[in-house]
Amino acid sequence: MSGSEELIKICHKVYEKGFVSAYDGNLSMRISTDRFFITRSGVCKGEVKETDILEIDGSGNKIKGEGKVTTEYKIHILAYNNRPEINAVIHCHPVYSTAFAAKEEGFENPVFPEVVLTLGKIPLCKYATPSTDELPESMEPYINDCNALLLQNHGAVTFGSSINDAYYKMEKLEHIAKTLFVARLLGGEKNIPEQKLKQLYEIAESTYNLKPNSKY
């Protein structure tokens, strides 16, 4: 499967999963050091086809393709320019994650072991006007240390070593948001005990490549 085919498959998946509605969201992947595929502006992710994928450079200039570059390209470029190991970025508005972001709450407490191991802390970036430089600026304090971010009153972003990896991080993020919502209906979540958290970090260090600052 070519790079753009993989990207198209994940576009369809985020729409089917309800992580975006109408023309929301944008997805991208790195094709070389300074070249990226990104979904064009104003396309429903459920209907993305080959001609809806643009090629851009590391400054957001269009290199190939028909249509406008999304104004949210800055979210993607910030990640690629700061983190050479990131090869894919997904920005969506999934209902539960975005509801927490609207409530001004990130996921900064250790509640689920697999999240501690694979996603790490998920900070909330303070509200920024979409399309402006304020948006990447709001992400800058966290960009070097995270696998996922919430954007206040807006949505979520995940980063991955591949487009599948970024997708599964988005799916996991939305799943924990939904689970926390239900836990609160049942009286509220409890954190993993401090002592047990140390044990988890030993596993994280030996098995997963979790960045030290994304520890809880």
Binding site for Zn ion (CB under 5 A): 155
- CB-based contact 128:71 (threshold 8 Å): no
In the bound complex, what is the minimum distance in angstroms from residue 72's beta carbon to Zn ion?
6
Nearer Cβ to Zn ion (140/189): 140
Q: Closest separation between CB of residue 183 and Zn ion, Å?
A: 27
Three-state secondary structure call for residue 190: coil
The yes-or-no answer on residue 72 being catalytic is yes
- What is the signed CA dihedral for 13, 14, 17, 21, rounded to 10 degrees? -130
Cα 33 from Cα 28, distance rounded (Å): 14
Task: Tell me the residue number closest to Zn ion, measured at CB.
Answer: 155
Identify which of residues 110 and 155 has a Cβ nearer to Zn ion in the complex: 155
User: Minimal distance in Å, beta carbon 154 to Zn ion?
Assistant: 6
Measured at the CA of 98, the angle between CA 105 and CA 10, to 5 degrees, comes to: 130
The residue among 115 and 149 lying less far from Zn ion, judged by its C-beta, is: 149
Tell me which of 5, 47, 50, 72 is the catalytic residue.
Answer: 72
Measured in degrees and rounded to the nearest 5, phi and psi for residue 172 equal -65, -45
- Active-site annotation, residues: 72
